[in-house]
Amino acid sequence: MTNNAAPSPIETISGVLDLLRDEVPSVAHYPTLATASPDGIGCARLVVLRGLHASKRWLWFNTHRHAQKVQHLRANPHAELALWIPEHAIQLRIRAIYQIVTSTTRSHDLQDLRTESWQAQPAHARALYDRPNRSESTGSTRKKSLKTLEKRQEIRLKQEKIGPPHPDFVVLLGKFYRIDALQLTQPHHSQYLHSWSPAPGAHWETAKTA
């Protein structure tokens, strides 16, 4: 009997990357980022995936420079992003090395990415970066800071022109090198591991693991 079932998109790296391009703006927009603290304790949280560049093996999201995940990635830049694509019953675990793109990063391309990410933020999200650092403000200082924040929010909402990125705004840029793809199919699940091989002749290697 001939098996006319269509091949799974996870069987090839091109199929996986096509999935990411198609699904990131919708259901796969809120993946889970898993990091390790400096003392080796695992920590996971949802993030908003802001972009993907398949040929450069880039993915990125934004955060505050004082966020816990930034401190974790400074200590250990390796982290894994897990996302679920319900339409295909596919789970992707994407391992990457992260670079923290700040106002002092010496790369015009990365500064352009940071600026574009800042400008793509809605006004209320940009206004959050004017909030005082909780560890640095208490009591009357915090009340004054919150009043200042409210005024700045009003101004920002009225302004059409978006200024440069706030100093506390950072982009976490991951260069992915391993994608573990699992599809929950009947009667058996299928799983493929796609690994980046830098040399000789940089390319993706694929192995069926289940």
List C-alpha distances in Å: 175 to 21, 27, 126, 139, 183.
Answer: 16, 22, 25, 42, 24
The reported pLDDT for the residue numbered 32 is 96
- Separation CA 53–CA 36 (nearest Å): 25
The reported pLDDT for the residue numbered 31 is 93
CATH 2.30.110.10 fits 9-103+168-208, yes or no: yes
Of 47, 65, 50, nearest in space to 117 by CA: 50
Helix, strand, coil percentages, rounded to 5, for the chain: 30, 35, 35
* Burial of residue 181 (number of CB atoms within 10 Å: 0-12, 13-18, 19+): buried
List all residues 6 or more positions away from 67 whose beta carbon is below 8 Å from its beta carbon.
none
The reported pLDDT for the residue numbered 206 is 96
Low-confidence ranges of the chain (pLDDT < 50): 1-2, 134-138, 142, 157-158
The reported pLDDT for the residue numbered 61 is 94
**C-beta separation of 174 from 166 below 8 A:** no
Domains in the chain: boundaries: 9-103+168-208
The reported pLDDT for the residue numbered 22 is 80
**C-beta separation of 169 from 116 below 8 A:** no
Tokens of 149: 């924040």
Give the HSE-up count for residue 115: Cα atoms under 13 Å, Cβ half-sphere: 11
The reported pLDDT for the residue numbered 3 is 53
The reported pLDDT for the residue numbered 1 is 44
Of 37, 5, 24, 186, nearest in space to 92 by CA: 24
**C-beta separation of 127 from 118 below 8 A:** no
